[in-house]
A and B are shown apart, each in its own frame.
Chain A
Amino acid sequence: MSKKTILLILLALWGFLAISSVGYNILNTTYEIKNWYFLTDTQKRQKIFGDLYDFLIFAKNESYNPPKILVFSKDVRTHYFGMYMLYPTKIIDTNDEKKFLKMVKTKEFIYVATYSKTLDSNTYRQVATFSSKTTKTFGILYKKK
């Protein structure tokens, strides 16, 4: 088989894959409509980000846009997703308990939010709680006394 014949076979195969791709996309559209189209915007975000989305919305709504908020969370997405969700409130987050308690003691923050963790402090009082409807995840918002 000559090199040019092989090239033509590759191109024909490519053309076939391209047509299949169009077919796949058409079929996938029905799947996407079934799974996504009828969801509300909030439901879509819950589906993508899980409980973390609800937790951040909870922290945003209950804290009334303070300049900054301290967040404890072990979810690796918290830092950037929290920045995105909470802006203009600036988020200072950690997943290290010692660091977290150290920052709490500075009393720099009016609000502290914890994701699936409780805070025992004389400086802060609990002002609101959130619990997931589907998992055991919970969140607590504390305010400086």
Chain B
Amino acid sequence: MNIFIVLVTILGITLVGYTLIRLLEIFGKKDILLSISYGYGLGMALAGLQLYFYARLDIPWHREFLLIPWVIFLVTVFLNKKNIFYVSSQNFLKPSVLQILLLVGICLSGGYVFFEALLRPVTVWDGWAIWLLKSKVFFIDGTIRPESLAYVSADYPLLISLLGTFIYIMVGYVNDTIVLLSSFAFYIFLAIAFFATLKKKFGITYALFFTFLLVTTQNFVRHGGRMESGQADLPLAYFIFTSSMLLLSYYKNTHWKTLLLTTVFLGITGLIKIEGMPFTLTIGIFLSYMIIKKKNYTHFIFFLFWVLPIIDWYTYKSIYHLAALTTRTFSFSLQKTFSVFLGVGKELVNIKTWSMLWICYLYMFFCWPKKGENTFFIINIIIFSQFGLYCLIYLFIDGYSPDSSIERLLLHLAPLVLYAIAIRVKQLV
């Protein structure tokens, strides 16, 4: 029963996000899958922000108080714009044998991740020490208390933990096993977003093949269900991928609606994990360049959706002295450089974790170094800026080494890397 409630909660927040995206007509009417997959990201952020603002306004976190606004919203939209919820039967074409086989492979992987997510409570350190600790604390407190945040040494943003709290409120008690279904949801919706993006460009079979490669990569399986890691890395990978795709859409259509969703997703990305901040800056620079080039200066107003939530969180932390001002020392040595390159290099060729993902990407990058189409160029800049930043941190800041974190950092970029491979392979072969 509780699993059912969590699944309904996930579907409910996805429906809210989907409805908003369809209302704004950001994707085409036929791009139902894109709207659904982006809907989960938007919906989960809205659920988290709802708890955050309720806490700030002293509104109790009662289930009814949380649900009523969304129910009113959905009913109003349903009564006035029924076509938003209409799915054309033309979307379901007769699949080929190869497509069915690939779909079966994808479903088997999805089924396995679902099974693993429900098999055990969270097992790893950062799972219960950071993300679920805060979910539990917020649920027991019934609000967000600065003194509780100080107690749990909260330096990370709250969105992922608040999603956990939202699920606990819906279920009615703390259940640190079924809450992991939210990670499974990120796995599934990332796969759907990835498939829908590729399908639009290259067709169903090609999209299914690369989606199959994505969902069977063991590191995604681990983060989606086996939970040998924290809960924020897969969401960050999801938001880095979706935000990058929105940037590419804006690059093509320069429409304010696309920019609106891009900046909203950037704001969310910055509130998932600190590592999302440099990524949002890179995308922000690209967006600024596109706006200035097209002289759409009024579009800069949408940057508020990106910047304001992040400024709000950092102001809150600063007011209540929550920022963990741990002193970091900087140093550089040849021995450290060697061990960083060795550690990163070993992970890039770790077939058990990544299959051929990074090997293929690097092979293609170095064999065909010319920039290709602009899309590929932009994606490479995003990947290398983020990857380069991680390497610089390892090289110069004491206390960081690839041994403990590189597989998580690479996960953030992996969907984008696979997308880059997919578009490059299509150009080359």
Contacts and interface: CB of A to CB of B under 8 A. Distances in A.
A6 B116 CA distance: 36
A34 to B, nearest CB: 12
13 contacts: A7-B360, A7-B367, A7-B429, A10-B359, A18-B105, A18-B216, A19-B105, A21-B218, A22-B105, A22-B216, A32-B116, A80-B125, A84-B133
A25 B120 contact: no
Contacts of A6: 363
Nearest to B209: A15
Nearest to A26: B108
Contacts of B109: 21-22, 25
A87 B137 CA distance: 7
Contacts of A90: 151
Contact of A25 (B112, B136, B140, B152): B112
A18 B105 CA distance: 9
A44 B116 CA distance: 13
By size class, the interface of chain B is 35 or more
Contact of B119 (A4, A10, A37): A37
B140 A36 contact: no
Contacts of B368: 3
A117 interface: no
A78 to B, nearest CB: 11
Interface in A15-42: 15, 17-19, 21-22, 25-26, 28-29, 32, 36-37, 41
A18 B125 contact: no
B115 interface: yes
B304 interface: no
B44 to A, nearest CB: 22
Contacts of A14: 213, 355-357, 360
Interface residues of A, number: 34
B129 to A, nearest CB: 3
B324 to A, nearest CB: 14
Interface string B131-152: 0110011001100000000011
Contact of A44 (B120, B209, B364, B428): B120
Contacts of A21: 109, 216-218, 221, 355
A84 B212 CA distance: 37
A99 interface: no
Interface in A90-126: 90
Interface in B354-389: 355-357, 359-360, 363-364, 367-368
A136 B180 CA distance: 34
Contacts of B256: none
A103 to B, nearest CB: 17
Given A18-B216, A83-B129, 16 more contacts: A7-B363, A7-B367, A7-B425, A10-B363, A14-B356, A15-B209, A21-B218, A25-B109, A28-B112, A32-B115, A36-B119, A44-B121, A80-B128, A81-B128, A83-B133, A84-B136
Contact of A87 (B133, B351, B425): B133
A1 interface: no
Contacts of B141: 88
Contacts of A4: 428-429
Interface of A: 3-4, 6-8, 10-11, 13-15, 17-19, 21-22, 25-26, 28-29, 32, 36-37, 41, 44-45, 48, 77, 80-81, 83-84, 87-88, 90
A140 to B, nearest CB: 25
Contacts of A25: 108-109, 112, 221
Contacts of A28: 112
A11 B356 contact: yes
Contact of A3 (B140, B355, B359, B367): B367
B253 interface: no
B115 A29 contact: yes
A45 B177 CA distance: 11
Contacts of B137: 87
A84 B121 contact: no
A84 B128 CA distance: 7
A13 B152 contact: no
A32 B115 CA distance: 10
Contacts of B121: 41, 44-45, 48
Given A17-B356, A18-B105, A83 B152 contact: yes
A37 B108 CA distance: 19
B123 interface: yes
A64 to B, nearest CB: 16
Contacts of B355: 14, 17-18, 21
Nearest to B123: A48
Contacts of B136: 84, 87
Contacts of B133: 80, 83-84, 87
Contacts of A87: 133, 136-137, 140
Contact of B425 (A11, A22, A80, A88): A11
Contacts of B364: 7
A48 B429 contact: no
Nearest to B212: A18
A45 B176 CA distance: 11
Nearest to B136: A87
